[in-house]
Structure 1
Amino acid sequence: MSVVPSSTGHPNSARGRLPDGKDHLEGGLMRGTTLFAAAVATFVAGAASAGIIVFNFGLDGLQEVPPTPSPGTGMATVTVDPDTLFVDITGSYAGLLAPVTAAHLHGLAPPGANAGVIFGLMHTGGTTGTFMGSGFISAAQMTGLLNGHTYINVHTSSFPGGEIRGQVVPAPAGLLLLAAAPLVARRRRA
Protein backbone atom coordinates (compact mmCIF):
# COMPACT_ATOMS: atom_id res chain seq x y z
CA MET A 1 0.00 0.00 0.00
CA SER A 2 1.36 3.43 -0.82
CA VAL A 3 0.39 6.50 1.16
CA VAL A 4 -0.32 9.59 -0.90
CA PRO A 5 -1.57 13.03 0.09
CA SER A 6 -5.32 13.25 0.03
CA SER A 7 -7.22 15.66 -2.12
CA THR A 8 -8.94 17.16 0.93
CA GLY A 9 -6.34 19.87 1.27
CA HIS A 10 -5.64 18.95 4.88
CA PRO A 11 -1.85 18.83 5.43
CA ASN A 12 -2.04 15.93 7.89
CA SER A 13 -4.40 13.64 6.01
CA ALA A 14 -3.60 10.59 3.96
CA ARG A 15 -5.34 7.87 2.01
CA GLY A 16 -4.31 4.39 1.06
CA ARG A 17 -4.13 2.91 -2.41
CA LEU A 18 -4.72 -0.83 -2.53
CA PRO A 19 -2.63 -3.05 -4.84
CA ASP A 20 -5.57 -3.35 -7.25
CA GLY A 21 -5.43 0.43 -7.76
CA LYS A 22 -8.73 1.18 -6.03
CA ASP A 23 -8.97 4.20 -3.72
CA HIS A 24 -11.29 2.55 -1.20
CA LEU A 25 -11.00 -0.10 1.46
CA GLU A 26 -12.50 -3.48 0.64
CA GLY A 27 -13.18 -4.59 4.21
CA GLY A 28 -10.78 -6.34 6.50
CA LEU A 29 -9.47 -5.10 9.79
CA MET A 30 -5.86 -5.36 8.63
CA ARG A 31 -6.38 -2.86 5.83
CA GLY A 32 -8.26 -0.51 8.16
CA THR A 33 -5.57 -0.80 10.83
CA THR A 34 -2.84 -0.24 8.25
CA LEU A 35 -4.61 2.81 6.87
CA PHE A 36 -5.18 4.22 10.35
CA ALA A 37 -1.52 3.63 11.28
CA ALA A 38 -0.41 5.33 8.06
CA ALA A 39 -2.64 8.31 8.79
CA VAL A 40 -1.30 8.58 12.35
CA ALA A 41 2.28 8.31 11.08
CA THR A 42 1.60 11.04 8.54
CA PHE A 43 0.10 13.30 11.23
CA VAL A 44 2.95 12.70 13.69
CA ALA A 45 5.60 13.18 10.99
CA GLY A 46 3.92 16.40 9.87
CA ALA A 47 3.80 17.74 13.42
CA ALA A 48 7.43 16.81 14.06
CA SER A 49 8.73 18.54 10.96
CA ALA A 50 9.32 22.24 10.72
CA GLY A 51 6.39 24.34 9.67
CA ILE A 52 3.41 26.19 11.05
CA ILE A 53 1.95 24.75 14.27
CA VAL A 54 -1.50 25.75 15.54
CA PHE A 55 -2.73 25.44 19.14
CA ASN A 56 -6.43 25.86 20.04
CA PHE A 57 -7.36 25.95 23.72
CA GLY A 58 -9.72 27.39 26.31
CA LEU A 59 -9.26 29.95 29.07
CA ASP A 60 -11.00 29.99 32.46
CA GLY A 61 -10.56 31.02 36.07
CA LEU A 62 -9.60 27.53 37.25
CA GLN A 63 -6.31 27.73 35.31
CA GLU A 64 -5.28 30.92 37.15
CA VAL A 65 -2.69 30.67 39.93
CA PRO A 66 -4.37 30.86 42.36
CA PRO A 67 -7.69 29.89 40.72
CA THR A 68 -10.42 32.54 40.52
CA PRO A 69 -14.18 32.07 40.94
CA SER A 70 -14.79 33.86 37.63
CA PRO A 71 -17.58 32.54 35.42
CA GLY A 72 -15.64 34.00 32.47
CA THR A 73 -14.34 31.82 29.68
CA GLY A 74 -12.38 32.29 26.50
CA MET A 75 -10.97 30.55 23.45
CA ALA A 76 -7.60 31.20 21.84
CA THR A 77 -5.63 30.20 18.78
CA VAL A 78 -1.85 30.46 18.85
CA THR A 79 -0.07 29.96 15.53
CA VAL A 80 3.71 29.56 15.63
CA ASP A 81 6.47 29.20 13.08
CA PRO A 82 9.40 27.50 14.85
CA ASP A 83 11.74 28.36 11.97
CA THR A 84 11.22 32.14 12.17
CA LEU A 85 10.25 32.27 15.90
CA PHE A 86 7.07 34.18 14.96
CA VAL A 87 3.91 33.84 17.08
CA ASP A 88 0.39 35.03 16.18
CA ILE A 89 -2.40 35.01 18.77
CA THR A 90 -6.15 35.57 18.39
CA GLY A 91 -8.92 34.88 20.85
CA SER A 92 -12.13 35.90 22.53
CA TYR A 93 -13.55 36.04 26.03
CA ALA A 94 -16.99 36.43 27.62
CA GLY A 95 -18.68 36.56 31.00
CA LEU A 96 -15.89 38.29 32.93
CA LEU A 97 -16.73 39.95 36.25
CA ALA A 98 -15.03 43.24 35.29
CA PRO A 99 -13.78 44.91 32.10
CA VAL A 100 -10.42 43.76 30.74
CA THR A 101 -7.44 45.93 31.68
CA ALA A 102 -4.72 43.91 29.91
CA ALA A 103 -4.00 40.62 28.16
CA HIS A 104 -0.59 39.01 27.66
CA LEU A 105 1.35 35.97 26.54
CA HIS A 106 3.28 34.83 29.64
CA GLY A 107 6.14 32.37 30.04
CA LEU A 108 8.02 30.31 30.81
CA ALA A 109 6.04 28.36 33.39
CA PRO A 110 4.28 24.99 33.45
CA PRO A 111 0.60 24.73 34.42
CA GLY A 112 0.17 25.71 38.07
CA ALA A 113 2.97 28.30 38.08
CA ASN A 114 3.21 31.96 37.11
CA ALA A 115 5.74 33.72 34.87
CA GLY A 116 6.53 37.13 33.41
CA VAL A 117 5.09 38.76 30.31
CA ILE A 118 6.55 37.75 26.94
CA PHE A 119 4.45 40.29 25.02
CA GLY A 120 1.19 42.18 25.36
CA LEU A 121 -1.99 41.60 23.39
CA MET A 122 -4.43 44.20 22.10
CA HIS A 123 -7.95 43.73 23.46
CA THR A 124 -11.40 45.03 22.58
CA GLY A 125 -14.55 45.10 24.61
CA GLY A 126 -15.22 45.10 28.32
CA THR A 127 -16.44 41.89 29.93
CA THR A 128 -16.89 40.32 26.47
CA GLY A 129 -14.49 40.91 23.62
CA THR A 130 -11.45 39.79 21.68
CA PHE A 131 -7.67 39.87 21.98
CA MET A 132 -4.92 39.61 19.40
CA GLY A 133 -1.22 40.13 18.97
CA SER A 134 1.87 38.84 17.28
CA GLY A 135 5.60 39.06 17.59
CA PHE A 136 8.93 37.32 17.49
CA ILE A 137 10.14 35.38 20.51
CA SER A 138 13.51 33.91 21.47
CA ALA A 139 14.54 30.33 20.72
CA ALA A 140 14.27 29.49 24.43
CA GLN A 141 10.75 30.94 24.55
CA MET A 142 9.77 28.94 21.45
CA THR A 143 11.05 25.75 23.07
CA GLY A 144 9.05 26.58 26.19
CA LEU A 145 5.93 27.33 24.15
CA LEU A 146 6.21 24.03 22.28
CA ASN A 147 6.58 22.23 25.63
CA GLY A 148 3.47 23.79 27.19
CA HIS A 149 5.26 26.39 29.33
CA THR A 150 3.47 29.53 28.09
CA TYR A 151 -0.02 30.81 28.76
CA ILE A 152 -2.40 33.61 27.90
CA ASN A 153 -3.65 35.68 30.82
CA VAL A 154 -6.59 38.11 30.68
CA HIS A 155 -6.42 40.69 33.49
CA THR A 156 -9.32 42.74 34.93
CA SER A 157 -9.70 45.33 37.68
CA SER A 158 -11.36 42.65 39.85
CA PHE A 159 -8.44 40.27 39.28
CA PRO A 160 -5.28 42.31 38.53
CA GLY A 161 -3.19 39.11 38.49
CA GLY A 162 -5.52 37.60 35.89
CA GLU A 163 -9.20 36.66 35.80
CA ILE A 164 -8.92 33.87 33.20
CA ARG A 165 -5.94 31.97 31.86
CA GLY A 166 -5.26 29.38 29.19
CA GLN A 167 -2.12 27.27 29.01
CA VAL A 168 -0.72 26.85 25.48
CA VAL A 169 -0.56 23.05 25.58
CA PRO A 170 0.62 20.96 22.64
CA ALA A 171 -1.78 18.32 21.36
CA PRO A 172 -0.70 14.97 22.79
CA ALA A 173 0.28 13.11 19.61
CA GLY A 174 0.96 10.03 21.71
CA LEU A 175 -2.76 9.76 22.43
CA LEU A 176 -3.36 9.25 18.71
CA LEU A 177 -1.12 6.21 18.82
CA LEU A 178 -2.94 4.90 21.90
CA ALA A 179 -6.20 5.20 19.99
CA ALA A 180 -4.89 2.59 17.56
CA ALA A 181 -4.21 0.05 20.34
CA PRO A 182 -7.75 -1.43 20.41
CA LEU A 183 -7.61 -2.01 16.65
CA VAL A 184 -4.27 -3.81 16.92
CA ALA A 185 -5.42 -5.84 19.94
CA ARG A 186 -8.62 -6.85 18.15
CA ARG A 187 -6.66 -7.92 15.08
CA ARG A 188 -4.33 -10.11 17.17
CA ARG A 189 -7.30 -11.93 18.74
CA ALA A 190 -8.86 -12.67 15.37
Structure 2
Amino acid sequence: MKHSLSILALAAAAACAPALAQDSAGIIRAVASGPAESPPNGSPGSSVATFDINGDIMTADVPFRDLLAGTTMAHIHCCTTAAFTGVAPIAIPFTDFPLGVTSGTYSQSFDLSDATIYDPAFLAAFGGTPASAGAALIEAIASNEAYLNIHTSQYPAGEIRGFLVAAPIPEPATWGMLGVGLAGLGMMARRRKV
Protein backbone atom coordinates (compact mmCIF):
# COMPACT_ATOMS: atom_id res chain seq x y z
CA MET A 1 0.00 0.00 0.00
CA LYS A 2 2.77 2.46 0.93
CA HIS A 3 4.54 1.68 -2.35
CA SER A 4 1.37 2.45 -4.40
CA LEU A 5 0.78 5.66 -2.45
CA SER A 6 4.33 6.79 -3.19
CA ILE A 7 3.94 6.08 -6.91
CA LEU A 8 0.60 7.93 -7.01
CA ALA A 9 2.05 10.90 -5.14
CA LEU A 10 4.96 11.13 -7.60
CA ALA A 11 2.58 10.92 -10.55
CA ALA A 12 0.40 13.67 -9.08
CA ALA A 13 3.42 15.91 -8.50
CA ALA A 14 4.59 15.39 -12.08
CA ALA A 15 1.14 16.25 -13.42
CA CYS A 16 0.99 19.45 -11.37
CA ALA A 17 4.40 20.83 -12.36
CA PRO A 18 5.17 20.33 -16.04
CA ALA A 19 8.55 21.68 -17.13
CA LEU A 20 9.15 24.06 -20.01
CA ALA A 21 8.96 21.94 -23.14
CA GLN A 22 11.85 21.61 -25.53
CA ASP A 23 9.67 23.12 -28.28
CA SER A 24 9.73 26.42 -26.37
CA ALA A 25 6.02 26.48 -25.51
CA GLY A 26 4.66 27.37 -22.13
CA ILE A 27 3.45 29.89 -19.61
CA ILE A 28 6.22 31.34 -17.46
CA ARG A 29 5.72 33.52 -14.39
CA ALA A 30 7.98 35.99 -12.60
CA VAL A 31 7.00 37.26 -9.14
CA ALA A 32 9.05 40.43 -8.61
CA SER A 33 9.67 42.26 -5.33
CA GLY A 34 12.25 44.44 -3.56
CA PRO A 35 13.45 41.66 -1.24
CA ALA A 36 14.20 39.56 -4.36
CA GLU A 37 16.59 42.24 -5.68
CA SER A 38 20.36 41.89 -5.46
CA PRO A 39 21.03 43.45 -3.01
CA PRO A 40 17.58 43.18 -1.39
CA ASN A 41 15.66 46.35 -0.58
CA GLY A 42 12.50 47.23 1.35
CA SER A 43 10.41 48.38 -1.60
CA PRO A 44 6.69 47.55 -1.33
CA GLY A 45 6.64 47.34 -5.15
CA SER A 46 5.52 44.14 -6.80
CA SER A 47 4.74 42.43 -10.09
CA VAL A 48 3.37 39.06 -11.09
CA ALA A 49 4.42 38.96 -14.73
CA THR A 50 3.38 36.34 -17.26
CA PHE A 51 5.44 35.31 -20.27
CA ASP A 52 3.77 33.11 -22.86
CA ILE A 53 6.29 31.37 -25.11
CA ASN A 54 4.82 29.84 -28.24
CA GLY A 55 7.44 28.82 -30.78
CA ASP A 56 9.55 31.90 -31.54
CA ILE A 57 7.04 34.36 -30.05
CA MET A 58 7.31 35.42 -26.41
CA THR A 59 4.44 37.58 -25.17
CA ALA A 60 5.09 39.56 -22.00
CA ASP A 61 2.35 40.86 -19.69
CA VAL A 62 3.99 42.82 -16.86
CA PRO A 63 1.69 44.59 -14.40
CA PHE A 64 3.57 46.47 -11.65
CA ARG A 65 2.56 48.60 -8.67
CA ASP A 66 3.60 50.41 -5.50
CA LEU A 67 7.09 51.36 -6.67
CA LEU A 68 8.77 54.03 -4.51
CA ALA A 69 9.90 56.16 -7.47
CA GLY A 70 9.30 56.54 -11.19
CA THR A 71 10.48 53.81 -13.54
CA THR A 72 13.64 54.39 -15.58
CA MET A 73 13.94 51.06 -17.45
CA ALA A 74 13.01 47.38 -17.41
CA HIS A 75 14.33 44.21 -19.03
CA ILE A 76 15.01 40.50 -18.81
CA HIS A 77 18.47 39.55 -17.56
CA CYS A 78 20.21 36.31 -18.47
CA CYS A 79 22.00 34.07 -17.48
CA THR A 80 22.98 33.70 -13.82
CA THR A 81 25.40 30.94 -12.83
CA ALA A 82 22.96 29.34 -10.37
CA ALA A 83 19.17 29.10 -10.14
CA PHE A 84 17.38 31.91 -8.28
CA THR A 85 20.55 33.75 -7.35
CA GLY A 86 23.19 36.09 -8.71
CA VAL A 87 23.14 38.81 -11.33
CA ALA A 88 23.41 38.69 -15.10
CA PRO A 89 23.63 41.07 -18.05
CA ILE A 90 20.61 42.36 -19.95
CA ALA A 91 19.22 39.90 -22.49
CA ILE A 92 16.06 41.64 -23.74
CA PRO A 93 15.53 45.36 -23.04
CA PHE A 94 11.93 46.58 -22.85
CA THR A 95 12.51 49.62 -25.07
CA ASP A 96 8.95 50.96 -24.81
CA PHE A 97 8.40 50.29 -21.09
CA PRO A 98 6.36 53.09 -19.42
CA LEU A 99 8.79 55.53 -17.80
CA GLY A 100 8.43 57.86 -14.81
CA VAL A 101 5.51 55.95 -13.26
CA THR A 102 5.11 53.94 -10.05
CA SER A 103 2.44 51.57 -11.35
CA GLY A 104 1.13 50.39 -14.68
CA THR A 105 1.12 47.54 -17.17
CA TYR A 106 3.49 46.62 -19.96
CA SER A 107 2.41 44.23 -22.71
CA GLN A 108 4.56 43.32 -25.68
CA SER A 109 5.32 40.43 -28.02
CA PHE A 110 8.90 39.58 -28.93
CA ASP A 111 10.00 37.49 -31.90
CA LEU A 112 12.89 35.46 -30.51
CA SER A 113 14.14 34.91 -34.08
CA ASP A 114 14.65 38.67 -34.54
CA ALA A 115 18.17 39.83 -33.64
CA THR A 116 17.00 43.39 -32.87
CA ILE A 117 15.09 42.39 -29.70
CA TYR A 118 18.28 41.30 -27.90
CA ASP A 119 20.83 43.48 -26.18
CA PRO A 120 23.85 43.52 -28.58
CA ALA A 121 26.25 42.25 -25.88
CA PHE A 122 23.93 39.32 -25.05
CA LEU A 123 23.55 38.47 -28.74
CA ALA A 124 27.35 38.53 -29.23
CA ALA A 125 27.98 36.46 -26.07
CA PHE A 126 25.68 33.69 -27.29
CA GLY A 127 26.85 33.02 -30.83
CA GLY A 128 25.83 36.25 -32.55
CA THR A 129 22.63 34.82 -34.00
CA PRO A 130 19.06 35.12 -32.76
CA ALA A 131 18.72 31.32 -32.90
CA SER A 132 21.62 30.78 -30.49
CA ALA A 133 20.61 33.70 -28.24
CA GLY A 134 17.00 32.46 -28.12
CA ALA A 135 18.13 28.93 -27.30
CA ALA A 136 20.33 30.26 -24.47
CA LEU A 137 17.44 32.31 -23.08
CA ILE A 138 15.01 29.35 -23.21
CA GLU A 139 17.58 27.11 -21.52
CA ALA A 140 18.15 29.73 -18.81
CA ILE A 141 14.40 30.09 -18.22
CA ALA A 142 14.09 26.30 -17.88
CA SER A 143 16.97 26.41 -15.37
CA ASN A 144 15.56 29.43 -13.45
CA GLU A 145 18.59 31.55 -14.40
CA ALA A 146 16.79 34.48 -16.09
CA TYR A 147 14.97 37.29 -14.32
CA LEU A 148 12.75 40.33 -14.84
CA ASN A 149 14.11 43.59 -13.43
CA ILE A 150 12.34 46.96 -13.10
CA HIS A 151 14.57 49.95 -12.31
CA THR A 152 13.51 53.27 -10.77
CA SER A 153 15.15 56.60 -10.02
CA GLN A 154 15.38 55.66 -6.32
CA TYR A 155 16.88 52.24 -7.12
CA PRO A 156 18.94 52.65 -10.33
CA ALA A 157 20.32 49.10 -10.02
CA GLY A 158 16.77 47.71 -9.76
CA GLU A 159 13.81 48.23 -7.42
CA ILE A 160 12.06 44.90 -7.99
CA ARG A 161 13.08 41.66 -9.65
CA GLY A 162 11.71 38.16 -10.07
CA PHE A 163 13.13 35.03 -11.65
CA LEU A 164 11.23 33.56 -14.58
CA VAL A 165 9.91 30.23 -13.34
CA ALA A 166 9.67 27.44 -15.89
CA ALA A 167 7.08 25.39 -14.03
CA PRO A 168 3.69 26.97 -14.76
CA ILE A 169 0.94 27.17 -12.20
CA PRO A 170 -1.44 24.21 -12.70
CA GLU A 171 -4.88 24.80 -14.18
CA PRO A 172 -7.87 24.53 -11.79
CA ALA A 173 -8.92 21.25 -13.42
CA THR A 174 -5.52 19.73 -12.54
CA TRP A 175 -5.93 20.78 -8.91
CA GLY A 176 -9.45 19.30 -8.92
CA MET A 177 -8.21 15.98 -10.26
CA LEU A 178 -5.41 15.92 -7.70
CA GLY A 179 -7.94 16.59 -4.90
CA VAL A 180 -10.25 13.78 -6.08
CA GLY A 181 -7.29 11.39 -6.27
CA LEU A 182 -6.06 12.27 -2.79
CA ALA A 183 -9.59 11.91 -1.38
CA GLY A 184 -9.79 8.46 -2.99
CA LEU A 185 -6.47 7.48 -1.44
CA GLY A 186 -7.71 8.67 1.94
CA MET A 187 -10.87 6.59 1.62
CA MET A 188 -8.83 3.51 0.64
CA ALA A 189 -6.57 3.97 3.66
CA ARG A 190 -9.56 4.40 5.96
CA ARG A 191 -11.23 1.20 4.64
CA ARG A 192 -8.06 -0.81 5.30
CA LYS A 193 -8.02 0.34 8.94
CA VAL A 194 -11.68 -0.67 9.52
State the TM-score, normalized to the length of structure 1: 0.64
2:140 counterpart of 1:144:
yes
Q: Which amino acid aligns with 1:55?
A: I
For residues 42 and 57 of structure 1, what CA distance do their matches in structure 2 show? 21
Q: Calculate the aligned-residue CA RMSD, in Å.
A: 3.6
CA contact (8 A) 1:72 1:95 kept: yes
Runs of 4+ in 1 over 4 A off after TM superposition: 37-49, 176-183
Q: Bigger CA drift: 61-70 or 140-149?
A: 140-149
For residues 73 and 25 of structure 2, what CA distance do their matches in structure 1 show? 27
CA contact (8 A) 2:78 2:88 kept: yes
User: Match of 2:97, SS?
Assistant: strand
2:89 counterpart of 1:116:
yes
Q: Which amino acid aligns with 2:97?
A: H
CA contact (8 A) 1:64 1:165 kept: yes
Q: Where is the helix percentage greater, Structure 1 or Structure 2?
A: 2
Residue 156 of structure 2 aligns with which residue? 160
CA contact (8 A) 1:106 1:116 kept: yes
Residue 12 of structure 1 aligns with which residue? none
For the structure 1 residues 188 and 51, does the alpha-carbon distance in structure 2 shift closer, same or farther, using more than 3 Å as the test? Answer: farther
Cα distance, 1:98 vs. partner?
0.9
Structure of larger gyration radius:
1
Q: Where is the strand percentage greater, Structure 1 or Structure 2?
A: 1
Cα distance, 1:49 vs. partner?
7.0
Residue 128 of structure 1 aligns with which residue? 103
For the structure 1 residues 124 and 38, does the alpha-carbon distance in structure 2 shift closer, same or farther, using more than 3 Å as the test? Answer: same
Residue 187 of structure 1 aligns with which residue? 188
Number of residue pairs matched? 152
CA contact (8 A) 1:63 1:112 kept: no
What are structure 2's unaligned runs of at least 5 residues? 1-9, 113-132, 170-174
For the structure 1 residues 161 and 47, does the alpha-carbon distance in structure 2 shift closer, same or farther, using more than 3 Å as the test? Answer: closer
Cα distance, 1:185 vs. partner?
6.1
Q: Which amino acid aligns with 2:104?
A: G
User: Match of 1:123, SS?
Assistant: coil
Q: Deviations over 1:125-156 (max 9, x none)?
A: 51112224424142122111122111100001
Q: Which amino acid aligns with 1:154?
A: I
Cα distance, 1:159 vs. partner?
0.8
Q: Which amino acid aligns with 1:67?
A: P
Q: Which amino acid aligns with 1:187?
A: M
User: Match of 1:144, SS?
Assistant: helix
